[in-house]
Amino acid sequence: MNTPPIRLLVVDDHTLFRRGLIALLSQHPGVQVVGEAADAGEAQRRAAELQPDVVLLDNHLPGVRGVDALPGLHEAAPRARVLVLTVSEDEADLAAALTAGAQGYLLKTIDGDALLQVITRCMRGEAIVSPELTGKLVTALRSANSGTATTAPAKPPDPLQSLSPRELDTLRHIAHGASNKEIARALDIAETTVKIHVQHILRKLDLSSRVQAAVYASERGVG
């Protein structure tokens, strides 16, 4: 009995890279590229529609980091495994991606055969990190697990500092009572992307509604 091909969704805002990657992967009979997307909102829609086995996700997308899009992708396609494919060797990005549920973190310098092997291993449930980043992963884990021996108690971080610049822009518009459609028009982004930003804002600020977000923003002088 033949094994069905692994169904892939490719998410990258660079058209030439995305199309080249699709052309490369399509040559292999073991995989089938079922869709592509250029931003987080489109990726979430396509994931919900196609229910791919694996999502290849760039970490630098218009208006939102790929790692911040992970919760929405998992919600849209719960069974999909997400492989972050990026140029970033930053250990904070690496740790954030794995913490958010990425199955792997790969550098775009990976060659085609190695990428195909990783996709197959990913389907077996393996977690994969580019070999070049193994040392940085260890460093990130040690940093996360340390935290003793400080000379003074750490000051609680300001939740607003956890917001990306685009999320902060979105919060300002929420404070003025703007709808998602109005925010999308003002920021020149897709309405689905605004919805993702709102979800992230509520989660990061530990709020339950956009009304609370508006009150919070007003009290903090955001607007």
* Buried-exposed string 76-115: b where 16+ CB fall within 10 A, e elsewhere: bbeebbbbbbbebeebebbbbbbebebbbbbbbebeeeeb
User: Are the CB atoms for 127 and 101 separated by under 8 Å?
Assistant: no
Q: Which pLDDT does position 150 carry in this prediction?
A: 45
* Long-range CB pairs of 116-120, under 8 A, 24+ apart, other chains included: 116/25, 116/28, 116/30, 116/31, 118/83, 119/6, 119/8, 119/31, 119/54, 119/83, 120/6, 120/30
pLDDT at residue 37 above 90? yes
* pLDDT in the model for residue 170: 92
Token digits of residue 88: 């970033």
Q: What is the pTM of this model?
A: 0.62
Distance of CA 58 to the CA centre of its chain: 8
Token couple for 114: 């190695």
Reply yes or no on whether the pLDDT at 165 is more than 90: no
Nearest to 97 by CA among 179, 15, 107: 107
Confidence of residue 143 (pLDDT cuts 50, 70, 90): low
Mean pLDDT of 84-100: 83
Residue 90 token pair: 């930053």
Q: What is the pLDDT of residues 166-211, one digit of tens each?
A: 889 999 998 888 888 999 999 998 888 888 888 888 888 888 888 7
CA 128 to the chain's CA centroid: 16
**In terms of Cα–Cα distance, which of 21, 18, 81, 85 is closest to 51?**
81
Alpha carbons 194 and 23: distance in angstroms, whole number: 31
DSSP H/E element including 36: strand 31-37
The alpha carbons of the chain give a radius of gyration, in whole angstroms, of: 19
- Tell me the three state secondary structure of residue 111: coil
**What's the first-to-final CA gap in the chain, in angstroms?**
61
- Return the structure tokens found at 34: 């079922």
| DSSP calls for 168-213 | HHHHHHHHTT--HHHHHHHHTS-HHHHHHHHHHHHHHTT-SSHHHH
Q: Which domains does the chain have, with CATH numbers?
A: 6-143 (3.40.50.2300), 159-219 (1.10.10.10)
